[in-house]
Amino acid sequence: MSLARAIPTTIITGFLGAGKTTLIRHLMANAGGRRIALVINEFGDVGMDREILSACGIQGCGDDDIVELANGCLCCTVADEFLPTMEALIHRADPPDHIVIETSGLALPKPLVRAFTWPEVRSRVTVDGVVAVIDGPAVAAGLFAEDPAAVQALRAADAAVDHENPLEEVYTDQLLCADMVLVNKADLLDEATLAATLETARAGARDGVPVLACRNGTVDPDVLLGLNLAVESDLEARPTHHDGPEGHDHDDFESYALPMPPVDLGHEGPQAVADALVPAVRDGRVLRIKGALDVPGKSMRLLVQGVGPRVQAHYDRPWRTGEPRAGTLVVIGLKGLDAEGLSRSLAAAVAGGGAGP
């Protein structure tokens, strides 16, 4: 029988675009000699986060230490994908000191924590803590708030309806499972709004859970790691909308990988194309957009990142030898999104580059 100590595992949860990958980049850059393995899961078939992390050039973000589970949502594919991944990490000749799991923005953390009690991994890994990254401006704008009038109207039509806002449902579950809450993007909030947003987050979290403000995920790894909470033994303290052995479905959300034409930037800088995309993503059903674009004549690909109506672009890494220079934008939105119309307007904005469509 092995007496190896259980490998502490930190689960990073948080809604689409809240800043989980940014937090992990900071963590990896400041790991202080810890060997950290990352398990990354994204909603939709095309994962970008592994690419973003492995393009960052930080030691420890090497390909071997990043496992991507791109198909489906980790909390719903525990047996098929998650457990074999964890077993492979545990049984490595040189197991990591710590495992960090970035869940998809739509995942509910509790079923994932429950998986740590499965016989395959119990006693070999333990959940050190669940960290929820909150998008401060999105919370301040009421993106996750219930609209009481709409809830009432739905209840009148169907007594079984609990939540009118599917975003609120995911957000609440993530917050209630957290051992630490980071209100990120504090740089985009004024002092009073930040104070109010911290209060809103505190009200949504369990009693006594620390709620910290941060920007660009710059949190000391000593604060983040080593909570030593054995969360899997404390599941009952964490309420959820989706208790039960089955996963949840994602019927409220859809994801598309949209092919994009080359960008003609003219004399403009990369942000010009990001700005040109904003009108197209202003549709309230678009929650997240990310992808890479081809700028002819440039050896680097142009990485685009958008959360709600904020879109940014920068060159992140050279196109690899043999890699097709095919522009793609992954869009995640609420069901009912006009994907064809969106695809047309995004493509027109991209083709127009800095000149605009």
What is the binding site for ligand GTP (CB under 6 A)? 14, 16-22, 42, 49, 105, 184-185, 187-188, 215-217, 288, 305, 307, 312
Minimum Å gap between C-beta 158 and ligand GTP is 30
Minimum Å gap between C-beta 67 and ligand GTP is 15
Beta strands in 91-229 (DSSP E): 98-102, 125-135, 180-184, 211-213
Minimum Å gap between C-beta 5 and ligand GTP is 30
HEC-encoded secondary structure of 267-301: CCCCHHHHHHHHHHHCCCCEEEEEEEECCCCCCEE
Q: Which residue, 27 or 125, has its beta carbon nearer to ligand GTP? A: 27
Q: Give the separation between CA 12 and CA 197, rounded to whole angstroms.
A: 20
Q: Which residue, 56 or 235, has its beta carbon nearer to ligand GTP? A: 56
Residue 67: its H or E element: strand 66-69
Minimum Å gap between C-beta 283 and ligand GTP is 17
Minimum Å gap between C-beta 288 and ligand GTP is 5
Minimum Å gap between C-beta 54 and ligand GTP is 14
Q: Which residue, 20 or 110, has its beta carbon nearer to ligand GTP? A: 20
Buried-state track 110-133, b at ≥16 Cβ within 10 A, e below 16: bbbbbbbeeeebeebbbbbbbbbb
Q: Give the separation between CA 330 and CA 278, rounded to whole angstroms.
A: 15
Q: Which residue, 188 or 348, has its beta carbon nearer to ligand GTP? A: 188
Cβ-proximal residues to 205 (8 Å cutoff; 6+ apart), any chain: 132, 175, 176, 178, 181, 211
Q: Which residue, 72 or 126, has its beta carbon nearer to ligand GTP? A: 72
Q: Which residue, 36 or 90, has its beta carbon nearer to ligand GTP? A: 36
Minimum Å gap between C-beta 161 and ligand GTP is 26
Closest to 172 measured CA to CA, from 143, 215, 195, 192: 143
DSSP state of 48: -
Q: Which residue, 171 or 232, has its beta carbon nearer to ligand GTP? A: 171
